[in-house]
């Protein structure tokens, strides 16, 4: 089996069969539907571009690999970034769409239990690669991963799963900074950096906002009124205001209502045309009718 197909099947089989892909209710209910998988080259110029914009603390795939495996001599061309999208279920999306101030229980469980499962995917992919003699590291599980509250894009980190997914052709950014993918932006995203050469996936876009109707058609902007703290506007996403609300107000609400020590919001990712697809003008018109 071709290596890209093998890794894709490793990820899809794990998501489809793992008992960890479970909401934690009395009756079994999956957190995520079938994933999308894409690949980008460690030598893709986008990674250097990210670093030039975000700051010198940001890792390219080669920088991260060298940090993780200092005894291995590789070039950026020898490295592939494996990215995946795990979409929320229709039940979760519908439940979240009914909310206008706080996240629904399924959304919170997807954020908490779901991201723990995403870590299991990261670990599983690394283990499968290592069993085949291929060195690999999951950036978000690496001791070298770090968050920064400095710079023009703060708060940020030294590796972005969404930007890796963009490089792998899996989606583009929306007005609220969420990644709009072929299965929408109600999803989680992950990546692994590996010493393997896999052909890069096709990037079916030339602009990082190609799937957002605000930028391409000057329409939509349905995510703006969904934000309970006015952290969204036509000028973009106020990350600091957003984070203050989610990490404090939402954290306390979630702990009290659902018993989870986590933070979540995601209202801008639900009841919008890009929740579960790449939106079209018709989707905006349809939602206007639905809202009447």
Q: How far apart are CA 114 and CA 189, in angstroms?
A: 11
As given in the structure block, the two tokens for residue 266 are 């995601």
Q: Which two tokens stand for residue 37?
A: 């998988």
Q: Report the pLDDT value the prediction gives residue 71, as an integer from 0 to 100.
A: 94
Query: What does residue 209 show for φ and ψ, rounded to 5 degrees?
Result: -115, 20
pLDDT band at 291 (very low <50, low <70, confident <90, very high): very low
**What are the start-end ranges of the E strands in 114-182?**
136-137, 147-148, 156-157, 172-173, 179-180
Strands 232-233 and 236-237, by their bridges, are antiparallel
pLDDT digits over 122-148, tens only?
A: 999 999 999 999 999 999 999 999 998
Cβ atoms within 10 A of the Cβ of 218, count?
9
Q: Which residue has the tokens 């509250």?
A: 149
What is the percentage of the chain residues whose pLDDT exceeds 90? 91
Quick check: 222 and 273 in contact, CB under 8 A? yes
Per-residue model confidence (pLDDT) at position 287: 54
For 159-189, how does the pLDDT look when each residue is reduced to its tens digit (9 = 90+)?
999 999 999 999 999 999 999 999 999 999 9
> Which of 201, 196, 134 shows the shortest CA–CA distance to 164?
201
Q: How confident is the model at residue 112 (pLDDT cuts 50, 70, 90)?
A: very high
Q: Report pLDDT for 151.
A: 74
Domain encompassing residue 27: 3-291
Domain count of the fold of the chain:
1
Residue 2 has pLDDT above 70, yes or no: yes
Burial class of residue 92, CB neighbours in 10 A (0-12, 13-18, 19+): buried
Is the confidence at residue 9, as pLDDT, over 50? yes
Crossing angle of helices 105-131 and 90-97, rounded to 10°: 150
Q: Which pLDDT does position 32 carry in this prediction?
A: 99
Per-residue model confidence (pLDDT) at position 153: 81
Q: What is the DSSP letter of 211?
A: T
Per-residue pLDDT at 155: 83
Per-residue pLDDT tens over the stretch 239-273 = 989 999 998 999 999 999 999 999 999 999 999 99
Query: Residue 292: is its pLDDT beyond 70?
Result: no
Predicted confidence (pLDDT) at residue 290 exceeds the cutoff of 60: no
Predicted confidence at residue 168, as pLDDT, reads 99
The mean of the pLDDT values for the chain is: 95
């Amino acid at each position: 089996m071709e290596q890209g197909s093998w890794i894709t099947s490793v990820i899809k089989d794990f998501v489809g069969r793992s008992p960890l892909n479970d909401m934690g209710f009395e009756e079994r209910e999956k957190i995520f539907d079938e994933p999308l998988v894409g690949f980008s080259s460690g030598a893709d110029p986008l990674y250097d571009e990210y670093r030039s914009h975000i700051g010198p603390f940001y890792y390219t795939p080669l920088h991260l690999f060298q940090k993780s495996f200092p005894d291995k001599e590789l070039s950026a061309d020898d490295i592939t970034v494996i990215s995946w999208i795990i979409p929320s279920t229709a039940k979760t999306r519908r439940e979240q769409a009914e909310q206008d101030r706080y996240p629904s229980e399924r959304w919170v469980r997807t954020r908490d239990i779901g991201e723990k499962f995403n870590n299991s995917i990261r670990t599983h992919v690394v283990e499968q690669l290592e069993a085949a003699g291929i060195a690999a590291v999951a950036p978000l599980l690496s001791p070298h991963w770090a968050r920064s509250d400095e710079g023009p894009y703060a708060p940020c980190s030294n590796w972005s799963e969404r930007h890796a997914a963009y490089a792998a052709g899996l989606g583009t950014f929306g007005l609220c900074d969420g990644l709009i993918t072929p299965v929408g932006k109600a999803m989680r995203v992950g990546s692994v950096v590996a010493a393997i050469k896999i052909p890069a996936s096709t990037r079916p876009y030339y602009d990082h906002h190609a799937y957002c109707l605000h930028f391409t058609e000057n329409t939509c902007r349905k995510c703006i009124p969904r934000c309970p703290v006015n952290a969204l506007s036509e000028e973009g996403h106020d990350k600091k205001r957003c984070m203050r609300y989610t990490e404090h107000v939402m954290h306390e609400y979630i702990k009290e209502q659902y018993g989870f020590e986590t933070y979540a919001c995601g209202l801008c990712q639900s009841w919008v045309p890009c929740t579960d697809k790449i939106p079209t003008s018709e989707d905006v018109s349809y939602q206007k009718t639905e809202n009447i």
